Amino acid sequence: MLGCRGRVWARLLLAALALFVARSGWPEGDAAEKVCVARVQGTIGPATASYLARAIGEAAGQGAQCLVIELDTPGGLLDATKQIIQSFLRAPVPTVVYVSPPGAWAGSAGCFITVAADVAAMAPTTSIGAAHPVGLSPGGEKQDDTMKQKLENFSSSYIEAVAAKHHRNTEWARASVRESAAITAEKALELNVIDLLARDLPDLLNQLDGRTVNGRTLRTAKATIVLVPMTFQEQAFQVLAHPQVMLILMLIVMYGVIGELTSPGAVLPGVAGLIALVLLMYLASVLPMNAAGLALIGLAIALFLIDVFAPTHGVLTAGGILAFFLGVFMLFERSEPFLRLSLAWILPATVVTALFFVLVVGAGIRAQRLPARTGAGTMIGRMTTALERIDAGGGRVFLEGEYWNAVSTEPIEPGQVVEILALEGLTLKVQPTTTRKEERP
C-alpha cells in the first residue's frame, strides 16, 4: 500500500518539476538560439560603419550567438574601416565575416575587415587582398612620397596587429598592403588567412557549431537566422557614396545654378542646384576629390562663358571641352577600383556639358543682350518728325499711330527729324538730327 502511494507521489513530483521547468524560462535547446546576419555590398564608407555598429548592438540585444557579416566589397575608406574594426574589438558578441556569395571579393578595406573578425570565412571562388591604402589626403590632394610612405607603414602595421590578435598569417597580411597581394579562398585557408571555407550560410553555421570564440561556445547548427537590414538612411548614403553619383550631383549643381542665372525666375533649376550642392559637400567628406581636377573643371566653365560673351570661333569652347574632360578624369584617385570613373561616364558628361553651355547658356545670354522688341523700350533710338516746335517747354511728334508729347534741350523746328532718347512717363525726350523728313499729318 505504501509502495503504491510512493509511486503516485513520485509521479506528481516529477509532473510539478516538469511544469516548473517549462515556465521558468530555462533554455530549450538549439531551436531557441539566434544568429544575426548583416549584409555589406559595395563601397566601405561612413554609412557602412554606422550600419555594422548598429547590427552589433542589435545582435547583442537579441542575445544572438554571433553576428555574421556577409561581405562583398572592392574596398573603401581607411577611416571608416578603422571605425568598423574598433566596433569589432568592442563587440559583446562574436563577429564572423563571411566573404560571399561565390565570386565576391574582400578587396582593400574588405581585407582589413575580414582579418579583424573573430572568425573569418569565405565561400569558394571568392578572393581577398590588394589592401594597399588609397593615396588621397582628407582634402583630396595627392600626397607626396613621404606621406604615401607613412600611410603605407601605418596600414601594414595596423593590419599586422589585427591579424596577430586572431593568430592569422601576419606575413601575408603585411604583403597585402605593401605588395597588393591577393589570393583565392582556397589559398587563404591554406595560408591561415581565414578560418573556414563554407559553401553557403547553412554550411557556415554548421561549421561554427561547437566552436569556442572569446571563451564562448557557439550553438549555431539549428539557430534561427535573423537578418539585420540597413535603414533607409543608411541605404541612401550607401548608394550616394559613389564617384558616379558625385559626378551627376556636380553636373546638377553646374546646370542648375548657371541655368538660374541665365534664366532668372525659373526657380526649379536653382533649387535643384542648391540641394545637389549640399549633398555634394557632404559626399566630398566621404570620397575626397582631387583639387587639380576641380580646378580644371572650374577653368572649363570659365572658358565656356568667355566664349559666349566674346566669340572666338570655338577656340575657347574647344579648350573648355579639353579642360573639362581632364578635370573629370582626374577628379578621383584612379589607383583604387571603387574610385574610378570610366570613360563610359566621362565622355557623355563632357559632351552634355559642352552642348549645355553652347546651346542653352549661350542662347540664354544672347537673348538677354538683344534689344527689346515690344513695349515702350522699342521706341528708344527711333526716328520721327516734329509736328510743331519742340523745346524745353514741350512739343509734339507722331509715332506708332499716336501723338506724343516731346521735350528737347535744343530747339527743334517743325518738320525736322528727331531721335528719341528716352521715355519719361508719357513724354518723349528727343534730340534733333541733321536729316529732314517729310512731315506726317
pLDDT band at 12 (very low <50, low <70, confident <90, very high): low
* Whether residue 327 is found in the same domain as residue 353: yes
pLDDT band at 436 (very low <50, low <70, confident <90, very high): very low
Residue 147 is assigned to a structural domain of this protein: yes
pLDDT of 407-420, one tens digit each? Answer: 888 888 888 888 88
Q: For residue 15, how many C-alpha atoms fall within 13 Å in the half-sphere facing its CB?
A: 6
Residue 17 is assigned to a structural domain of this protein: no
- Is pLDDT at 287 greater than 60 in this prediction? yes
Q: What percent of the chain has pLDDT over 70?
A: 79
Pairing, β 416-424 against β 427-436: antiparallel
Alpha carbons 97 and 104: distance in angstroms, whole number? 13
Which helix (H) or strand (E) segment holds residue 330: the answer is none
Q: Let me know how many helices (H) and strands (E) the chain has, helices first.
A: 15, 16
Residue 333 is assigned to a structural domain of this protein: yes
* Whether residue 260 is found in the same domain as residue 382: no
* Whether residue 224 is found in the same domain as residue 83: yes
* Whether residue 320 is found in the same domain as residue 194: no
Cell of 39: 549584409
Residue 417 is assigned to a structural domain of this protein: yes
CATH code at 427?
A: 2.40.50.140
Choosing from 173, 208, 235, the residue where a domain stops is: 235
pLDDT band at 20 (very low <50, low <70, confident <90, very high): very low
CB-count burial class (<10 Å; 0-12, 13-18, 19+) for 357: buried
Give CA 348 to chain center in angstroms. Answer: 19
CATH code at 37?
A: 3.90.226.10
Residue 9 is assigned to a structural domain of this protein: no
pLDDT band at 256 (very low <50, low <70, confident <90, very high): confident
Residue 16 is assigned to a structural domain of this protein: no
* Whether residue 321 is found in the same domain as residue 403: no
Query: Please, are residues 156 and 170 in contact by the beta-carbon 8 Å criterion?
Result: no
Instruction: Note down the domain range covering 287.
Output: 242-369
* Whether residue 179 is found in the same domain as residue 270: no
Residue 5 is assigned to a structural domain of this protein: no
- Would you call 171 helix, strand, or coil by DSSP? helix
Cell of 217: 561556445
Check residue 334 and give its pLDDT: 59
Alpha carbons 172 and 179: distance in angstroms, whole number? 10
Choosing from 207, 235, 263, the residue where a domain stops is: 235
* Whether residue 104 is found in the same domain as residue 88: yes
* Whether residue 271 is found in the same domain as residue 360: yes
Q: What are phi and psi of 232, to 5 degrees?
A: -60, -40
Average model confidence (pLDDT) for the chain? 81
Q: For residue 4, how many C-alpha atoms fall within 13 Å in the half-sphere facing its CB?
A: 1
* Whether residue 207 is found in the same domain as residue 290: no
The stretch 340-344 carries a mean pLDDT of 80
* Whether residue 193 is found in the same domain as residue 313: no
Choosing from 206, 235, 264, the residue where a domain stops is: 235
pLDDT of 129-148, one tens digit each? Answer: 987 765 444 444 445 567 67
* Whether residue 192 is found in the same domain as residue 295: no
Query: Please, are residues 232 and 140 in contact by the beta-carbon 8 Å criterion?
Result: no
Which residues are CB-contacts of 256 (< 8 A; sequence separation ≥ 6)? 269, 270, 271, 272, 273, 274, 276
* Integer CA distances (angstroms), 420 to 371, 385, 386, 406, in order: 15, 10, 11, 9
Look at residues 257, 230, 247, 258 and name the one whose alpha carbon lies nearest to residue 284: 247
* Whether residue 40 is found in the same domain as residue 116: yes
Alpha carbons 169 and 173: distance in angstroms, whole number? 6
Residue 14 is assigned to a structural domain of this protein: no
* Integer CA distances (angstroms), 68 to 86, 171, 409, 415, in order: 17, 26, 91, 98
Report how many domains make up the chain: 3
